[in-house]
Amino acid sequence: MMAADSMEIDDALYSRQRYVLGDTAMQKMAQSHVFLSGIGGLGVEIAKNIILAGVKALTVHDTKHCTKWDLGINFFIHEDDVTNQRNRAEATLHHIAELNPYVHVAASTVPLDETTDLSFLKQYQCVILTEVSLLLQKKINDFCHAQQPPIKFISADVYGVCSRLFCDFGDEFEVLDTTGEEPKEIFISNITQYTFGLENRYKFGAISEQNNEFVVSPYSFSIGDTSEMEPYLHGGIAVQVKTPKMFYFERLEKQITNPLCLVADFSKPETPLQLHVAMLALNHFQENFGRGPNIGCLQDAEEMLKIAMSISETLENKPQVNGDVVKWLSRTAQGFLPPLAAAVGGVASQEVLKAVTGKFSPLQQWLYIDVLDIVTPLEKVGSEEFLPRGDRYDALRACIGDSLCQKLHNLNVFLVGCGAIGCEMLKNFALLGVGTGQDKGLVTITDPDLIEKSNLNRQFLFRPHHIQKPKSYTAAEATLNINPSVKIDSDINKVCPATENTYSDEFYTKQDVIVTALDNVEARRYIDSRCVANLRPLIDSGTMGTKGHTEVIVPHLTESYNSHFESSFSHKPSLFNKFWQTYPTAEEVLQRIKSGESLEGCFHVIKTLSRRPRSWTQCVELARVKFEKYFSHKALQLLHSFPLDTRLKDGSLFWQSPKRPPFPVKFEFNDPLHYGFIVSAAKLFATVYCVPFTEKDLSEETILSIISAVKVPEFRPSNKVVQTDESARKPDHIPVSSEDERNAIFQLEKSILSNEALEADLQMKPISFEKDDDSNGHIDFITAASNLRAKMYNIEAADRFKTKRIAGKIIPAIATATAAVSGLVALELIKVVGGYPADAYKNCFLNLAIPIMVFTETAEVRRTEIRNGISFTIWDRWTIHGKEDFTLLDFINAVREKYGIEPTMVVQGVKMLYVPVMPGHIKRLKFTMQKLVKPSPDKKYVDLTVSFAPETDGEEDLPGPPVRYYFVQEDN
């Protein structure tokens, strides 16, 4: 158990959380008493999270009675609570208490107002206020701040589409571990005998957290006078020692006039102050009129705007008032968005844990999160849409209108995974009324796992008596307890190729959106591919410790989950290995090709084999050549095809907004970005091609020596059609040119004769992208490559967090991050259901430990030009309907007639159905598609890849979109 007297920690329950917080913080938390006022939609989220975390005692305070309204915002209030008009704290007490038997939970229903004697708060280490007036917040904050030691104070509010979080942990607050990252341990390669110095040739950048005067360079630091010591031999180890950091806080009264805000969306740095003014105006409106602004009332909005203008003048920075922010806050303030409360509640709960443990960096001191991008498109919707109708969705309706509510009710959603995020998502679905339509709407869930005790620490729909029961069935039952109207279909299947009969194309096309709650990249990539193939929106998310991410993928608007990184360092090596497992020796492959046999994927494999780097030097050389190709030659080619003075037919300049001319990047060894690309790319090439390297190989001296000797190919302009859209996607499958096909046999013969096609040469090591391991260089490579491309186009470089949005292999961790991430996902779900434009969607990376939240726009879908105005994106799919005797020639002619361009190559997966230069392939034109593809009896179609002849001989064939070939004519 975990109690104050024994300090034993129930590892079976808390194992995942111990990994995040550590035992010292867990023990401090087990001695803490917390007071929470307001058990509405936001308060219940905070209560849930901190009880799951394991504080010693929580008092929940509330003076309000349950209403129909509460059914749509508090997942622990039920119909009988409303009927019997129970106090909200008393109604939820049992439900929140059973979340964790180690936490003592009490309810308080006494009034808390201006006349209350606050001395009772002295028994608590942390006080949290929700749904409390600003005047009372100030009074309680002053009391808490004045205590010795100070009582940690947190206030949080959600009004409509805006939210606010404030922290005050006293004049001084000591944090023992600001990040929670593991201390680094390194080997000492050398100690110099100098008056002042230790030289360590292993990078140890984090040492700068200790004492900067001892840091000599990223690779070395000093330990003092070593001149009189014996020469260093070997085996020394240095361990990072984390030192405490002091944080300083101001009272609420002072912070109101000069707020210190965390900026979550760097594209709108002015927004926090605008929200600060707007929400202060709301508080003053409430004080002046004894009520909040009425739903959709323009007169109240005008009054709030006047108050905001007045308040702005009293603040130190006199921030500009944003009329739209004030208007939408006024229109929706009576309402409540449960997903926004989940997101803010997750962040606020983590601040509570920081307050009682001293673990992680506290919020200083305000966080504002808004979802104005949800309501902005509703500008012209009549105010009657937002008015209450006497059901459990009135709070939601006041924010998003009845039409969007109905779309949520009629939604068909497929939730993959019922773990920590899955449970939170089902709670959000229930509060939003997803899948409750009378004639439409269904929530389908699946998870093959059984419930374990360690799940109970985060997966809040489960209880001890559920252990060893299926997650999906149990989660479905718990969801119906929150909202009995949800129609839910639960399975225990794994979503993978083996279950495609169950989760078929027909199944996917019936879904309006797919939501993943998974813990691994492979499953994400598979489901992403199914969503792309069936043109379904996908919202992905994941957590690791206090970190989390969300990503929105919308057909025809955004890029998909799968990245170029995976293609280069994972997908291609996997195909390479699969090929050589099928055909064990190069000699056998050569003999089969010469005899006219077509081997699936043989050309790409041979090309990879012939160009394979075989030493660290060749890996560095390859990286240097790639640098020149991607960041210099491509720019020069574009400028060759379209000089800066190029004009269009109407006389306007070709290079004008939004098109930016590229500028070739000249390689500079001393530029950290250039050097970083070379090193990270070389490391990845070495890993993929099984080339060993040492620390000495990574030294600047070695890299410089290699690069200095590289013969970089000169730029030779090409006359081929150039892709002018810098955001165009490079297709995952690059078609093979006729010239390259003729070289295949020659290349393989050369490799065999050079003894470069031995068993060891026929293996590669695929790399799975892992975002949270900084030592692997994955993030370094992606950051360097993307920022070099940005530099080439004079675009502002992306920060490192933007490259971390794709989840790695997720380790289940802590309820706070899970709740925050699921809330953000549900907010994006509303936008998907509403059919919002691309710029409305936001991806997010957060780390509640630091804390940081970074919202970014989704990556716009890239369009690839073929020629003559014909283009495609990853979401485009051409379709051809055949019949039983349809030949390959019929197929090629059908593509030409329908889409205006004739394919010169047809590929099925890695199997080449038709490549004219391959022996025997011309004869295949007369074969039926049934004979070539050999579909299973129940298969209605096959997805093929086609490519087209280049305009200039010798160039690579032009890529095309997937072509879905149906074996029978479309039904009329």
Q: 840-870 pLDDT, tens per residue? A: 999 998 999 989 888 888 888 888 888 778 8
Cα 922–Cα 924–Cα 926 angle in degrees, nearest 5: 105
Over 60: is that where the pLDDT of 731 sits? no
Higher pLDDT, 377 or 238: 377
At 261 the pLDDT is: 94
Q: 92-101 pLDDT, tens per residue? A: 999 999 999 9
In this structure, of 205-209, 437-441, 766-770, the range with the lowest mean pLDDT score is: 205-209
* Alpha carbon 63 to its chain's center: 39
Over 90: is that where the pLDDT of 969 sits? no
Strand partners, 470: 450
User: Is the pTM here over 0.85, yes or no?
Assistant: no
Q: Which of 647, 621, 637 is nearest to 712 (CA)?
A: 621
Q: 388-423 pLDDT, tens per residue? A: 999 999 999 999 999 999 999 999 999 999 999 999
Locate 441 and state its tokens. Answer: 């709407």
Strand partners, 550: 541, 844
At 64 the pLDDT is: 97
Mean pLDDT of the region 339-344: 97
Over 70: is that where the pLDDT of 595 sits? no
Over 90: is that where the pLDDT of 816 sits? yes
pLDDT > 90: what percent of the chain? 49
Strand partners, 57: 33, 104
Residues 921 and 892: their CA atoms lie apart, in Å, by: 14
* Alpha carbon 55 to its chain's center: 30
In this structure, of 206-210, 468-472, 680-684, 730-734, the range with the lowest mean pLDDT score is: 206-210
Strand partners, 513: 413
Q: Which of 518, 385, 545 is nearest to 446 (CA)?
A: 518
Q: 11-70 pLDDT, tens per residue? A: 778 767 876 777 788 889 999 999 999 999 999 999 999 999 999 999 999 999 999 999
In this structure, of 214-228, 255-269, 791-805, the range with the lowest mean pLDDT score is: 791-805
Residues 829 and 196: their CA atoms lie apart, in Å, by: 59
Q: Which of 416, 418, 381 is nearest to 401 (CA)?
A: 381
Residue 600 pLDDT level (bands cut at 50, 70, 90): low
Residues 623 and 619: their CA atoms lie apart, in Å, by: 6
CA dihedral 294, 297, 300, 302 (to 10 degrees): 160
The position carrying tokens 């230790």 is: 198
At 568 the pLDDT is: 54
DSSP 424-458: HHHHHHHHHTTT--SSS-EEEEE--PBP-GGGGGT
At 55 the pLDDT is: 95
Over 80: is that where the pLDDT of 382 sits? yes
DSSP 578-608: HHHHHS--HHHHHHHHHTT---TTHHHHHHH
Locate 966 and state its tokens. Answer: 């149906």
Residue 795 pLDDT level (bands cut at 50, 70, 90): low
Over 80: is that where the pLDDT of 802 sits? no
At 458 the pLDDT is: 87
Count of all residues that appear for the chain in the document = 972
Residues 753 and 745: their CA atoms lie apart, in Å, by: 12
Higher pLDDT, 440 or 945: 440
Over 70: is that where the pLDDT of 234 sits? no
Residue 425 near residue 415, CB atoms below 8 Å:
yes
Cα 442–Cα 444–Cα 448 angle in degrees, nearest 5: 165
At 809 the pLDDT is: 35
Over 90: is that where the pLDDT of 259 sits? yes
Residues 91 and 1: their CA atoms lie apart, in Å, by: 27
Burial class (CB in 10 A: 0-12, 13-18, 19+), 560: buried
Output the 3-class SS for 753-815. HCCCCCHHHHCCCCCCCCCCCHHHCHHHHHHHHHHHHHHHCCCCCCCHHHHHCCCCCCCCCCH
> Which residues 6+ apart lie within 8 Å of 649 measured at CB?
none
At 249 the pLDDT is: 97
Q: 627-638 pLDDT, tens per residue? A: 998 888 888 888
Q: 83-139 pLDDT, tens per residue? A: 999 999 999 999 999 999 999 999 999 999 999 999 999 999 999 999 999 999 999
In this structure, of 153-167, 596-610, 880-894, the range with the lowest mean pLDDT score is: 596-610
Contacts by 137-144 with C-beta closer than 8 Å and gap 24+? Answer: 137/252, 138/252, 138/253, 139/114, 141/168, 141/251, 141/252, 141/253, 142/251, 142/252, 142/253, 143/118, 144/168
Mean pLDDT of the region 352-375: 95
* Alpha carbon 60 to its chain's center: 34
Residues 58 and 33: their CA atoms lie apart, in Å, by: 6
At 807 the pLDDT is: 29
Residues 17 and 873: their CA atoms lie apart, in Å, by: 42
User: Which residue type occupies 121?
Assistant: L
Q: Chain-wide mean pLDDT for the chain?
A: 85
At 690 the pLDDT is: 85
At 598 the pLDDT is: 65
Higher pLDDT, 724 or 360: 360
Residue 656 pLDDT level (bands cut at 50, 70, 90): low
Over 60: is that where the pLDDT of 729 sits? no
Residues 196 and 939: their CA atoms lie apart, in Å, by: 74
At 354 the pLDDT is: 96
Over 70: is that where the pLDDT of 771 sits? no
Q: 141-172 pLDDT, tens per residue? A: 999 999 999 999 999 999 999 999 999 999 99
User: At 268, phi and psi to the nearest 5?
Assistant: -135, 65
